[in-house]
Amino acid sequence: MLHSALLIWQAIVIAIICSTGLTAYEKRLTYPPIMAIICKAAIANGKGGFSVQDIVVNEPKEDEVLVKIKAAGLCHTDHDSLSWGKQLIIGHEGAGIVVSVGKNISSVLPGDKVILNWAMHCGKCFQCLEGNLHLCEVASPVAAGGNGYTPGHAGLDGTTLNGDPILRSFNIGTIAGYTLVKESAVVKNTSETMSFPAASIISCGVMTGYGSVVNAARLKAGSSAVVLGTGGVGLNVMQGAKIAGAGMIIAIDINPTRLEMAVKFGATHTVLATKDDIGLLKAAEEVKKLTGGRGADYAFECTAIPELGAAPLAMVRNAGTAIQVSGIEQEITIDMRLFEWDKIYINPLYGKCRPQIDFPDIVQHYISGHLLLEEMITRTYSINELDKAFDDMLKGRNAKGVIVFD
């Protein structure tokens, strides 16, 4: 009862604070300390399974932010995380409301709507100084920690399960009622109309697709682009290509329903592939017919199928660029003749995400009507329906599924 009363009091204080004209410093001084919060979280067991359990989330330290999660996007990486050999809180896409901040936090305030990201960065290492914030050698959960603990993770004692500290997937663990993160993991959302489910998918799927076009490929206006696979990431590659001014966007998939959806998200042409088309070489011939026999300027692999890792090379012209977007990490064999001639093959991480630049840009594209988000969400689920959400995702029923919280 006392815990419920405290949460109600905290909610009232947030409303009062956010309606005043206080300075950022005054708001932080005014806001009362937060007692430990008990909430539900999806916990991977490291052996392929998960359970929904109660965790305890403590008040933020001086360089941390406490966020009440309102929605968490779901992707294949979340399912993969079930088998990473360790217990952790699942989820790496999310959006919510700031509940409390540490005394050194300056970019957000209690009551702010925020989008989570996992491109934590120190701003001082070699890669950060090179402009590669997503490859931070100190804080990145991928480049620095192999998705283990890094300084980009909030203090381990800040979140506990049965009295023991527990890791958060990608340092943010968003499939939980609350998350405790470092300041670089949050970006304020300025849109007044964007829903929390829509905001949540910006975190990874939208950013990865959009950024692979705008930041990694640096697609030139008027050029041609091929997108292999029209799931959530592929649809956002198409949106990024459309925003960048591509003259032709060719979507390739084996699912005709998804190709119909691809047109809504920017495809100018579609190619229905078949499962027996090894390496999509037949589909590549169709691409060449559409591009004057030359091949496309850019090709983006978004299927996550190892056997198709080399397929974008077959789609591009001489001196064209192939981009491996989906994160294939298995060993594959490539016919080196596919590189002939002068072709470039890149494998960007997280669309070369620069959170404080790219997220506001994406939000503005949404506000202007040039980028669709709500239309991408096929279905929402409660945390207790996570097993169903995973099943729908793995069976290709959703463009994007989202877990929502009260």
Write out the chain in H/E/C secondary structure.
CHHHHHHHHHHHHHHHHHCCCCCHHHHHHHCCCCCCEEEEEEEECCCCCEEEEEEEECCCCCCEEEEEEEEEEECHHHHHHHHCCCCEECCCCCEEEEEEECCCCCCCCCCCEEEECCCCCCCCCHHHHCCCHHHCCCCCCCCCCCCCCCCCCCCHHHEEECCEECEEHHHCCCCECEEEEEHHHEEECCCCCCCHHHHHHHHHHHHHHHHHHHHHHCCCCCCEEEEECCCHHHHHHHHHHHHHCCCEEEEEECCHHHHHHHHHCCCCEEEECCCCCHHHHHHHHHHHHHCCCCCEEEEEECCCCHHHCCHHHHHEEEEEEEEECCCCCCCCCCCHHHHCCCCEEECCCHHHCCHHHHHHHHHHHHHCCCCCCHHHCCEEECHHHHHHHHHHHHCCCCCCEEEECC
Superfamily of domain 208-349: NAD(P)-binding Rossmann-like Domain (3.40.50.720)
Q: What are the tokens at 284?
A: 């590549």
pLDDT tens for the chain, residues 1 to 406 = 434 544 454 555 445 444 433 334 334 433 556 679 999 999 999 999 999 999 999 999 999 999 999 999 999 999 999 999 999 999 999 999 999 999 999 999 999 999 999 999 999 999 999 999 999 999 999 999 776 789 999 999 999 999 999 999 999 999 999 999 999 999 999 999 999 999 999 999 999 999 999 999 999 999 999 999 999 999 999 999 999 999 999 999 999 999 999 999 999 999 999 999 999 999 999 999 999 999 999 999 999 999 999 999 999 999 999 999 998 889 998 999 999 999 999 999 999 999 999 999 999 999 999 999 999 999 999 999 999 999 999 998 998 999 999 8
Q: Which amino acid belongs to residue 165?
A: P
Report d(CA 332, CA 308) in Å as an integer. Answer: 9
CATH number attached to the domain at 2-194+373-404: 3.90.180.10
First to last CA, the chain: 18
**Residues 207 and 351 sit within 8 Å (Cβ to Cβ):** yes
Report d(CA 270, CA 104) in Å as an integer. Answer: 51
Nearest partner of 70 among 111, 108, 105, 109, judged by Cα: 111
**Residues 158 and 58 sit within 8 Å (Cβ to Cβ):** yes
Per-residue pLDDT, 329: 87
pTM of the model: 0.90
**Residues 240 and 227 sit within 8 Å (Cβ to Cβ):** no
Report d(CA 171, CA 67) in Å as an integer. Answer: 13
Report d(CA 375, CA 332) in Å as an integer. Answer: 35
Report d(CA 400, CA 241) in Å as an integer. Answer: 20
Count of other CB atoms within 10 angstroms of residue 404: 17
Per-residue pLDDT, 148: 75
Q: Do domains 2-194+373-404 and 208-349 have the same CATH topology?
A: no
Question: How, if at all, do strands 50-57 and 167-168 pair?
Answer: unpaired
Q: Which long-range contacts (CB under 8 A, 24 or more apart) does 355-358 make?
A: 355/117, 355/119, 355/133, 355/184, 355/187, 356/187, 358/207, 358/210, 358/211, 358/214, 358/215
**Residues 303 and 253 sit within 8 Å (Cβ to Cβ):** no
Per-residue pLDDT, 146: 74
Positive or negative: CA dihedral 96, 97, 99, 102: positive
Nearest partner of 229 among 276, 264, 280, 285, judged by Cα: 280
Per-residue pLDDT, 44: 98
Per-residue pLDDT, 256: 95
Per-residue pLDDT, 12: 52
What are the sequence ranges of the domains in the chain? 2-194+373-404, 208-349
